[in-house]
Structure 1
Amino acid sequence: MAVDPRELEWRLRVFDSLSFPTRILKTDGTIVAVNDVFLRRYQHDPNTIIGRTCIEVNRRQFPKQTFPCMNNRSCPLCRAVDTRTGQSVLLHAVDEKGDERWEDRVFSPILDEDGTVGYIIESIRDVTNVKRLEKLYSDMRELIDKVVQSSVSGIIAANRKGDIILANRAAEELFGYSSEEVSEVSIEDFYPSGVAREIMRKLRDERLGGRGKLPITRVDIVNKSGDQIPVEMTAAIIYENGEEVASAGIFNDLREKLAVEKKLQEAQAKIGQTEKMASLGRLAAGVAHEINNPLTSILLYGTLMREKLERDHPLSQNLDYILEDADRCREIVKNLLAYSRQSSATKEVFPFNAAVTDSLRLIHDQRLFMNVEVIRDLTDEEVLVRADKNQICQVVINLIMNAVDAMEEKGTLTLATCLDETGERALLEVTDTGCGIPTENLSKIFDPFFTTKGLGKGTGLGLSMAYGVMEENQGRIFVSRTGPEGTTFVLELPRITVSSNEIYESIG
C-alpha cells in the first residue's frame, strides 16, 4: 500500500522534532537516516554518515570506547532484531579533552506488516549528569578533587528538600560559606525571596530548554553577607527512575564582566562624542567664517555711526543695542573658531600648577570672588606637562567661571592638582559647592550650544571648546562627581619627565 506523501512528511517532521539524537538503522547496522538533533549534537555532515555502519561512525565518535560487538559480546542491535524488543547499552567515553561522557543508547525495532524487523531506531540519551551524581555518592572525594573542585565556576547541588549536598570551592568563595557552613544552608537562602522557586518552575517547564534543563539565565544571588551578586547560571534536575532526586546549578560571577562592559560602553560613547564633536567643529568653522565678514562690516559702520551720532539722539540707544549685540556675536564667532581649532596650538613644557595660578591671575573681574572662598590644594611635587599653556588656562578659567555661576557667586571653590594612581597622568580637579548637574544633562554638557544659563548669559560653547582643547593636547575633561553638594570637573594631561636642559629650552 502506497504511503501518502503528506503522512511521510508528517513522520519526518516528528522524527526531526525528537529531543534526543536519533538514528534509523538497517538490521545490519547501516545508517539510513539521522535527525537534526543528532547532527547538531555531533556536528556531522549527513553525507559522511548516511550509508555507513553504526560501528564505523561510533568508532569515530568514541575512539577510546570498546563496543560490545568488538569483544564477541552480544550487540544490542542484534538482540533487538532477534527478540523484536527494545534493547539498550550504556556507552562510556573519554573525549580528546579528557572529559567523561555517558550515553544511554536505546535500540527499538520497527516491525513490518508481517511482523519481521525492518529497521531499528536508535535513540541516544546523554546520562552524564546522572552518572556523575552516582559517582559522587560512590566516590565523593575523587569527584570533588578531579572534577568539581577544579572548576572556576561555582557548582551547587541540592536534594529535593533544598539541602546542599555539594558545593565546590568556587561556590564557597562566591556565596561566602565554608564547607562546614554550606551543609547547614538551604538552597533558597542563596537567592532573593521567591527566586529559587521560580527557577524550579522554569526547570520543570519543557518549553524552556527541555524538561529538567534551564538554559543560561541571568539572576542575582545572595551571599552570606546579604549582598546581591549578578551571575549567569545554568541548572538541571537530576532524575532517578523518572523521579526528581536532586538539582544542580553552575554559577559564573558577572561582576568583572559587567565592569568591562561598562568601560566598553563608556569608550564607545567617548568615540561617538569625539566623532560628533569633529563634525560639529567643521560645521562651526564654516558658519564662523561666513558670519565673520558681514559682522565686521556691521561693527565698522555701526562704530562710525556711533562717532557721528549725538548722545541725545533718539536712535542713540538703539544703536548702542546693535553694537552690543554685534560685539556679543563677535565673541560667539571667536569661540566657534576656537572650538573648531582653526588656530594652531603652540605646545610647551610648563608646571601643571601654573595652570591654576596663571588662570586665577588672568580673571579680571575679581569682584566675582567676594563671597567665594578659593582653596588651592596644589601638589608639592613638580609635575610637568606639555601642552598649549594659553589654551589650558582658557579651559581652567572657563571651569572657574562656570563653578562661580553654579554657586551663584557664594560658596567654596577648590582647585587641586595631583597625579593619578599610575603617576603618569597629571590631574587638575575643579570642585564647587553648587547645586550639581542634573543626571539627564550629564551626557549633553559637552555638546555645542547646550547651556542651562538664561538667555544672553551663555553661548553653550565653553565646555565644547574645553573638550576640543583637551583632545588636541592628548588629554581629556570629565565629571568625576556631581550632586546636591557640588560638582567636580577633572582635567587630565600626560605627565612628562625631561632633563634640566630640555626644561630650560622649553620654558626659558
Structure 2
Amino acid sequence: MPTTPSPSTSTATTQQQLEFLQGQLRQNQALAALGALTGTATHEFNNVLMTVINYAKLGLRNEDTASRTKALTKILEASERAAKITGTILAQARNRSDSLEPTDLVDIVESSLVLLEREMRKYRIAVETEFADNVPRAQASGNQIQRVLLNLLINARQAMPDGGTVLVRIAAGGEGRCVELTVRDSGTGIPADKLPKIFEPFFTTKSGPDESGKGGTGLGLAACKEIIDRHGGRIRVESTVGVGTAFIIRLPIAGDQQAAA
C-alpha cells in the first residue's frame, strides 16, 4: 500500500524546489547582466577603435614630428581605455563566484563609468564622483556589486530624458562599521505612493524598454535588493518628484578592517 508523504516531507521538498528555482533565476539574471554588459562594452570598444584608426591615419598622412606625436599619444590613450573595457568584461566572464572578499568599491565605480561613458555623453548626462579619503574595502563580490551599480546608473540615466547630473559617492558609514555607496540623480523622481513597491519583482515605473533596449521588466531593482541582502547589507531609496532620486547602499566592511576598527 503506497505511503502518503508527511506534511513536513512535502514542505521540505517544496522548499528545495523553491531554492533550486531561485538559484536558476539568479544564474539567468547573471547571464543576462553579462550579455547587457557585453553589448554596452561593444559600443564603447567600437568608439575606441574608431579613435585609433583615425589617429593612425593622421599620423600616416603627416610626417612632421608634432602631428605624429599627437597621433601616437591619442592612440596610446585609446588603447589604455580599450584595455580597461576588455579587462572589465573578462573579469565578469571569468568570475561567476558568489564568494565575498575585500573589494575596493572605488575601482568598481571607475570601471563601470568607463563602460558607460559614451552612453552618458550621448544622453547629455554629467557624471560626478565623490570618494572620501581612506574608504574601507567592502566585504563583497565585485561582479555582483558592479551589476547593481550598472543597473542604478542606467536607471538614473533613464530618469533624466533631457539630460542632467548623476553623483556617485563612496564614504564610510554607520560610524565606520560599513561602506556607503550612493547613486543620486537630478531626474524626474518617483511618486511617494510608488516608493514602497520599488523593490518588488515585476513592479516598474517605466512603460517598457527605452530606445537602447534597456529597462522596463521590473526585475532590475528586485535583483539589486536580493544581491545586497545576500551581502548582509542594506539598500534604500530617497526620492522627490521633480528633484531627483538617490539609492543608498550600505555594505559590511572587510573582516580585517572591521577588526581594526
* TM bracket (short chain): 0.5 to 0.7
* CA positional deviation for 1:477: 1.0
Equivalent residue for 1:417, pick from 151, 167, 170: 170
Moved over 3 A (4+): 279-289, 480-483
Partner of 2:242: 484
Contact 2:166 2:183 in 1 (8 A): yes
**Paired amino acid for 1:454:** S
Q: What's the TM-score once normalised by structure 2's chain length?
A: 0.57
Going from structure 1 to structure 2, the CA distance change for 1:425 and 1:480 (only over 3 Å counts) comes to farther
Partner of 1:467: 225
Write the mapping of 1:125-204 to structure 2, written as runs, cut at 5 A: none
Going from structure 1 to structure 2, the CA distance change for 1:409 and 1:463 (only over 3 Å counts) comes to farther
Identity value in percent: 34
Q: What's the TM-score once normalised by structure 1's chain length?
A: 0.31
CA RMSD of aligned residues (A): 2.8
Contact 1:369 1:409 in 2 (8 A): no
Partner of 1:240: none
Partner of 1:367: 119
2:184 maps to 1:431: yes
Going from structure 1 to structure 2, the CA distance change for 1:424 and 1:452 (only over 3 Å counts) comes to same
Matched residues in 2 for 1:281 and 1:485: separation?
40
Q: Deviations over 1:478-498 (max 9, x none)?
A: 113433210110111012352
Matched residues in 2 for 1:471 and 1:397: separation?
17
2:143 maps to 1:385: no
Contact 2:135 2:170 in 1 (8 A): no
Going from structure 1 to structure 2, the CA distance change for 1:484 and 1:283 (only over 3 Å counts) comes to farther
Going from structure 1 to structure 2, the CA distance change for 1:462 and 1:388 (only over 3 Å counts) comes to same
Write the mapping of 1:397-408 to structure 2, written as runs, cut at 5 A: 397-408=150-161
Going from structure 1 to structure 2, the CA distance change for 1:280 and 1:456 (only over 3 Å counts) comes to farther
**Paired amino acid for 1:387:** A
Going from structure 1 to structure 2, the CA distance change for 1:369 and 1:409 (only over 3 Å counts) comes to farther
Going from structure 1 to structure 2, the CA distance change for 1:419 and 1:438 (only over 3 Å counts) comes to same
* CA positional deviation for 1:450: 1.1
Q: Deviations over 1:348-404 (max 9, x none)?
A: 2122212211221233x7133341111101112131111110000010000000000
Contact 1:436 1:483 in 2 (8 A): yes
Contact 1:384 1:497 in 2 (8 A): no
Partner of 1:449: 202
From the two aligned structures, give the one with the greater strand fraction: 1
Matched residues in 2 for 1:456 and 1:280: separation?
29
Matched residues in 1 for 2:19 and 2:155: separation?
22
3-state SS in 2 of match to 1:498: helix
Contact 2:187 2:244 in 1 (8 A): yes
Q: Which runs of 5+ in 1 are unaligned?
A: 1-278, 290-342, 500-508
Write the mapping of 1:53-452 to structure 2, written as runs, cut at 5 A: 344-363=97-116, 366-370=118-122, 371-408=124-161, 410-452=163-205
Q: How many residues align?
A: 168
Going from structure 1 to structure 2, the CA distance change for 1:456 and 1:367 (only over 3 Å counts) comes to closer
Going from structure 1 to structure 2, the CA distance change for 1:282 and 1:377 (only over 3 Å counts) comes to same
Contact 1:353 1:383 in 2 (8 A): no
Matched residues in 2 for 1:484 and 1:280: separation?
40
From the two aligned structures, give the one with the greater helix fraction: 2
Q: Which runs of 5+ in 2 are unaligned?
A: 1-16, 28-95, 211-215
Q: Deviations over 1:296-354 (max 9, x none)?
A: xxxxxxxxxxxxxxxxxxxxxxxxxxxxxxxxxxxxxxxxxxxxxxx750322122212
Q: Which fold has the larger relative contact order, with Cα–Cα distance below 8 Å and residues 6 or more apart in sequence?
A: 2
Matched residues in 2 for 1:348 and 1:487: separation?
30
3-state SS in 1 of match to 2:226: helix
Matched residues in 1 for 2:103 and 2:173: separation?
18
